[in-house]
């Protein structure tokens, strides 16, 4: 237990030192051996889509997490389809919401050409990862059926 050592090392008053030792001994005797039981059950709390979308504007990590969640809800539940979609958009934009192609007007995570096409999926298409991913999933599904087919097309032609 390193924390009591830190407390004791800085204790100047002998009476305070005895009091701290007594409290620590009492807590150690009363506390269950399983630390989790003292805190109660621990459960993971999922981040809301709204929070994740807000963070995704500046952090591609959250855009990928949101994309995984949305692809799963769309029905692409296999790891293979997620791998293809993740790889496809890594190549296109590195999952950056503000990715802009200097050679044309492609924009966003799925690199919609022109970027304004994504307005059909939501009004804040320039900065909203959820809107861009929603549009991209619909596009991939409508044009190729699955992310792996879109990835194969990109591999053969250089675009999707």
pLDDT digits over 25-66, tens only? 887 777 766 655 555 666 666 788 888 888 999 999 999 999
Is 60 exceeded by the pLDDT of residue 150?
yes
* Residue whose token pair is 């200097």: 102
Tokens 């981040």 locate to 47
For the cut 80, the answer to whether the pLDDT of residue 116 exceeds it is yes
Is pLDDT above 50 for 104?
A: yes
- For the residues 76-105, what does the mean pLDDT come to? 95
The yes-or-no verdict on residue 2 having pLDDT over 50 is no
pLDDT at 67: 97
Mean pLDDT, the chain, rounded, equals 87
Residue 92 and residue 135 share a domain: yes
Residue 53 counted as domain residue = yes
37 burial (CB, 10 Å; 0-12 / 13-18 / 19+) is exposed
**57 and 110: one domain?**
yes
pTM over 0.85: no
Quick check: is 34 in a domain? yes
132 and 59 co-located in one domain: yes
Q: Supply the angle between the helices 2-9 and 14-30 in degrees, to the nearest 10.
A: 160
6-10, 62-66, 145-149, 150-154: the lowest-pLDDT one: 6-10
How many domains does the chain fold into? 2
Name the pLDDT band for 15 (thresholds 50, 70, 90).
Answer: confident
Which stretches does DSSP call E strand in 32-105? none
Judgement on whether residues 70 and 28 belong to the same structural domain of the protein: no
**What percent of the chain is predicted at pLDDT more than 90?**
64
> For residue 15, what are the domain limits?
2-39
Calculate the CA dihedral of residues 120, 64, 80, 44 and round it to 10 degrees.
-120
Mean pLDDT of 116-133: 96
Residues 6 and 69 both lie in one domain: no
């Amino acid at each position: 237990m390193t924390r009591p050592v830190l407390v004791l090392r800085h204790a100047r008053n002998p009476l305070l030192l005895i009091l701290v030792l007594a409290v620590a001994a009492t807590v150690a005797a009363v506390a269950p051996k399983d630390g989790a039981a003292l805190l109660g059950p621990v459960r993971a709390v999922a981040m809301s889509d709204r929070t994740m979308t807000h963070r995704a504007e500046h952090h591609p990590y959250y855009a990928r997490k949101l994309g995984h969640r949305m692809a799963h809800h769309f029905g692409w539940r296999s790891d293979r389809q997620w791998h293809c979609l993740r790889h496809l958009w890594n190549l296109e934009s590195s999952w950056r919401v503000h990715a802009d192609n200097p050679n044309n007007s492609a924009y966003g995570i799925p690199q919609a050409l022109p970027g304004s096409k994504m307005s059909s999926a939501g009004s804040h298409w320039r900065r909203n990862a959820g809107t861009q991913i929603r549009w991209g999933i619909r596009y991939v599904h409508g044009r190729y059926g699955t992310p792996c087919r879109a990835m194969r097309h990109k591999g053969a032609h250089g675009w999707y």
